[in-house]
Structure 1
Amino acid sequence: MSAHELPADRIDTSTAHSARIYDYIIGGEDHYPADREAGDAMVLEWPALPVHMRANRDFMQRAVRYLAEEEGIRQFLDIGTGIPTSPNIHEIAQSVAPAARVVYVDNDPLVLALSQGLVSSTPEGKTSYIEADMLDPAAVLDAPAFRETLDPGEPVALTVIAIVHFLLDEHDAVGIVRRLLDPLPVGSFLAMSIGTAEFAPEEVGRVAREYAARGMPMRLRTFAEAEEFFDGLELVEPGIVQVHKWRPDGTGTEVIRDADIAMYGAVARKTG
């Protein structure tokens, strides 16, 4: 079911939404005129925005495949899932290990309405969707779907992709991520992408102002601030880098300049 087939009272179509803007810019179909207007305005300010967003999604796919193939991770907890776009995390993980299990978390009514695309698991595996706000980690960890889908005694990959730039200083983004990671066993992983303005400050600053004008203020972070999310963890090589530089697999056809990317990415292991 596309956004256009949903009951009108399920979602607010009059104002732009970050997940729908993202969906529009990467070529999806679950968006409305307000989202398209916002996306067009943002791309006008920074023409590289579509390249940046696609590179972020490619990073997610490489990170999940790495975790499933090379680290043997069979459980994933995805925070701030967004609108389903194939391949989703469970499709990538289950293509490697059909018994992989995934819990998706978001609090957007459109994502909830489209969540059937997130729970179409293989027979051997399992996927679940939790409607919860990442600002309340306990609501995620205490949800029945979390306990019924994931084994707390086995490692879990916590994926937090392209979401913490919408958490302001008063939200304590580092603390939120840590409260989600702390209950997970040793051997678990954190995979994140973190918005930054360090490579194209003027252009990204203009995009951030477009978001803020639509009620979506952003907190872009420096490299040092990105490092804080990984304190006490063991970073996987190459460490914290722009997302297009994290273990590129040579499959991309776009020429990507550093100035086109406003996201740090990293994967790290919990060792204690």
Structure 2
Amino acid sequence: MEELKWVPSTVDVTRPSVARMYDYYLGGSHNFEADRAAAKQVEQIFPGVAQSAQANRSFLRRVVRHLVSEGVDQFLDLGSGIPTVGNVHEIAQHDNPSARVVYVDVEPVAVSHSNALLADNPHANALLADLRATSTVLSGARELLDFSRPIGVLIIAALHFVPDADDPYTKVAEYLSAFPSGSYLAITHATWDQLTEEERAEAAQVAQIYSSSDNQLTMRTHAQVNKFFDGMELLEPGIVAVNDWRPDSFEDYTSIYGAVARKP
């Protein structure tokens, strides 16, 4: 049980976690048997799920680099997950060593490991909080980020775990209202839009697997994803598959939308 030394005592390692399943897809080591078993069930139905996770990660890298090139030096990463190679602070601080990053996640393993990783980094930290608790997150983020200057808000592969009953549109709007003109919002979100009827049936099986985890899936259409960007200026090429957003290599289609918008 050596691996459990870095796990907070409150964590139930017998229940699958979406953050730890995602870590598994990305080839990370901070996951447990329950996470791997659930992830492998998903892989049996959707063999390309790991590639989709990696395409999602590649989108994040391109977005952060672009925003840094536009002068953004502060980032709020909501639903940041477990640290793996290519974290936001690594990407941003490579180009701007003074860039500041606040990670937010409800998964104790993610936050515990993030803060251990960031112990010697004065410009980055992690908060244990649910992204739906906007006032709590914003209060914690103020300790490191300057809300009078533009901030890049990153919500990568997280909103499809927020059901409509929790009003995710209002939550996103609350974050954006706290930040000034020139701030950015980047979102990736799973969708069934391009799936065939057979693939939709398989996706329903995947959703059932996730129902046994700490979060359930809520897939959304292009129009529903677009609603998150109300009042903002979408950057080209708009809301597209993550691998089609300013790609630097060719990748097959993935059923995850990605987009970035600027607050006017």
Q: What range is the shorter-chain TM-score in?
A: over 0.9
**Separation (CA, whole Å) in 2 of partners of 1:8 and 1:119:** 17
Aligned to 2:132: 135
The root-mean-square deviation of aligned C-alpha atoms, in Å, is 1.7
The residue identity in structure 2 corresponding to 1:13 is V
- Conserved 8 A contact 1:77-1:157: yes
> Following TM superposition, by how much is the alpha carbon of 1:216 offset from its aligned partner in structure 2, in angstroms?
3.0
> Following TM superposition, by how much is the alpha carbon of 1:121 offset from its aligned partner in structure 2, in angstroms?
6.3
Cα separation, partners in 2 of 1:113 and 1:268, compared to 1, 3 Å: same
Cα separation, partners in 2 of 1:265 and 1:121, compared to 1, 3 Å: farther
Aligned to 1:161: 156
> Following TM superposition, by how much is the alpha carbon of 1:118 offset from its aligned partner in structure 2, in angstroms?
5.0
1:190 is paired with a residue of what secondary structure?
Answer: strand
Aligned to 2:202: 203
> Following TM superposition, by how much is the alpha carbon of 1:202 offset from its aligned partner in structure 2, in angstroms?
3.1
1:219 aligns with 2:190: no
> Following TM superposition, by how much is the alpha carbon of 1:236 offset from its aligned partner in structure 2, in angstroms?
0.6
**Separation (CA, whole Å) in 2 of partners of 1:131 and 1:116:** 10
Percent same amino acid among aligned pairs?
Answer: 39
Aligned to 2:86: 87
2:115 is paired with a residue of what secondary structure?
Answer: helix
**Separation (CA, whole Å) in 2 of partners of 1:170 and 1:189:** 25
Cα separation, partners in 2 of 1:241 and 1:17, compared to 1, 3 Å: same
TM norm structure 2: 0.93
The residue identity in structure 1 corresponding to 2:157 is A
Aligned to 2:259: 266
1:105 is paired with a residue of what secondary structure?
Answer: strand
The residue identity in structure 2 corresponding to 1:132 is A
**Separation (CA, whole Å) in 1 of partners of 2:212 and 2:204:** 12
> Following TM superposition, by how much is the alpha carbon of 1:55 offset from its aligned partner in structure 2, in angstroms?
0.6
> Following TM superposition, by how much is the alpha carbon of 1:119 offset from its aligned partner in structure 2, in angstroms?
2.2
Aligned to 2:228: 229
> Following TM superposition, by how much is the alpha carbon of 1:179 offset from its aligned partner in structure 2, in angstroms?
0.6
Counterparts of residues 184-195 of structure 1 (less than 5 Å): 184-195=179-190
Contiguous gaps of at least 5 residues in structure 2:
none
**Separation (CA, whole Å) in 1 of partners of 2:17 and 2:23:** 10
For residues 53-96 of structure 1, give each alpha carbon's deviation from its aligned partner in whole angstroms, at most 9, with x where no partner exists: 11111111111111112x11000011011000121101100111
For residues 154-187 of structure 1, give each alpha carbon's deviation from its aligned partner in whole angstroms, at most 9, with x where no partner exists: 1000000000111111111111111111110000
- Conserved 8 A contact 1:68-1:96: yes
Count of paired positions: 259
Aligned to 1:173: 168
Contiguous gaps of at least 5 residues in structure 1:
none
**Separation (CA, whole Å) in 2 of partners of 1:33 and 1:170:** 31
- Conserved 8 A contact 2:8-2:112: no
